[in-house]
Amino acid sequence: MDIGRSISSLKLCFLALAISTSIAAQEPVQWDVPLTFHTFSIAAVDPSTGEVGVAVTTRNACVGNGVPWVRASVGAVATQARTRTEYGAELLDMLEKGLTAEEALGKALAMDDDRAFRQVGVIGIKGGGAQHTGDETNPWAGQRSGPNFVTQGNLLEGPDVLDAVSRSFTETEGSHRHLADRLIEALAAGQAEGGDARKGRIQSAAVIVADPTPGRARRPDKVTVNINVCEHPEPVNELRRIYDRVSETLGFRSLQQFDGRDVWQLKLMLHALDYYRTDQETLERTPGSFLYSKDAIDAVESFREAQGLSTSDNGSPPGLVDSETIARLWEALEEAGKADEVRKQIREITVITR
């Protein structure tokens, strides 16, 4: 018996076992349950801007991870019910190659043994949409469409949901509003009619839009809006809040000029430190003393700059007075030996008399 050869063979066996174990460990894990999004959505295009987008909401978590798919200058896809995420890229690839939405969807469904459980909407930027609602999708299930949109849903309160989505989107046609804005409004209209029929489950919503206009997107895929609310008690309202805040749409906050006793305290502190109205030996209270005026904002900017804090020149809001600014003001007053004097001045201002 050749002991050396036996040992070498044994080593090869162990090596083969190790390699096979390593390969097996890297094999994709099969999903234990089908990805399911009982939901309603709208996929749409705006020929006037070239935008393509999808908005969707459901009573499952993270709907934005599976249902909406867009491609700039090509179109948009919503794949739901028993969701097959591969439809996103497949359908958009076919549209990009010149197939119509009807041709692309027909070809994709023909190869899908589970098409009875699927619900899909697809629309191309050049016009024309296609939809499929399988016979095995949960009632109420249905679809609506228009020249520039397709909307579809399953396990809904009823047909009024999609009717409301369709009506809202149609009414905003030609309104000079961005596509994401219109999609969120259409989704909210459907939600107001009951939306998903289930109750007591996690809710989510998403909107995604791609815009090919030069200078709009910094990403190579031209996606400009991608808001994915994975879980929220009112996800459609949260979509609106986020969109309005990020786009700085008028109404996302209350506009006002601050006035109050805290402003007067601030002015007294800045005056004591020779940043505010240095031409006056003593500040006298006037009807405008409580108003956070431009000269007070300028004084704060000067103080922050002297303290090495960020100013409006490098991105902070003009006249920012946060907790750090206040702490620095008191430190400066202590160093100047004026803290006690200022505290005496503001003692009566801060007294609670209610």
DSSP annotation string for 241-260: HHHHHHHT-TTSS-----BS
pLDDT tens for each residue of 187-209: 999 999 999 999 989 899 999 99
Residue 31's pLDDT is what?
54
Beta carbons within 8 Å of 317's beta carbon, 6+ residues apart? none
Question: Cα–Cα distances in Å, from 192 out to 39, 175, 187, 231, 234?
Answer: 14, 22, 9, 19, 11
Residue 352's pLDDT is what?
86
pLDDT tens for each residue of 285-334: 999 999 999 999 999 999 999 999 999 999 999 999 999 999 999 999 99
Burial of 233 (0-12, 13-18, 19+ CB in 10 A): exposed
Residue 325's pLDDT is what?
97
Q: Which residue segments constitute the domains of the chain, with CATH numbers given?
A: 36-247 (3.60.20.10), 261-347 (no CATH)
Residue 323's pLDDT is what?
96
Cα(339)–Cα(333) distance, rounded to whole angstroms? 5
Partnered with residue 51 across adjacent β-strands are: 46
- pTM score of the predicted model: 0.81
Residue 72's pLDDT is what?
98
Counting as low any pLDDT under 70, the low residues of the chain are 1-32
Other Cβ atoms less than 10 A from the Cβ of 98: the count is 10
CA 277 to chain centroid, in Å, comes to 45
Residue 354's pLDDT is what?
78
The crossing angle, in degrees rounded to 10, of helices 179-192 and 160-171 is 150
Dihedral sign from CA coordinates of 191, 194, 197, 202: positive
Q: Identify whether the C-beta of residue 63 lies closer than 8 Å to the C-beta of residue 206.
A: yes
Residue 127's pLDDT is what?
77
Ordered alpha helix ranges (H), the chain = 3-26, 86-96, 101-110, 160-171, 179-192, 235-247, 261-272, 294-306, 323-335, 339-347
Residue 15's pLDDT is what?
38
Length, in residues, of the chain: 354
Q: How many CA atoms lie within 13 A of 209 on its CB side?
A: 23
Annotate 85-145 with DSSP letters as a single string. THHHHHHHHHHHTT--HHHHHHHHHHT-TTGGGEEEEEEETTS-EEEEE-TTSPSS-EEEE
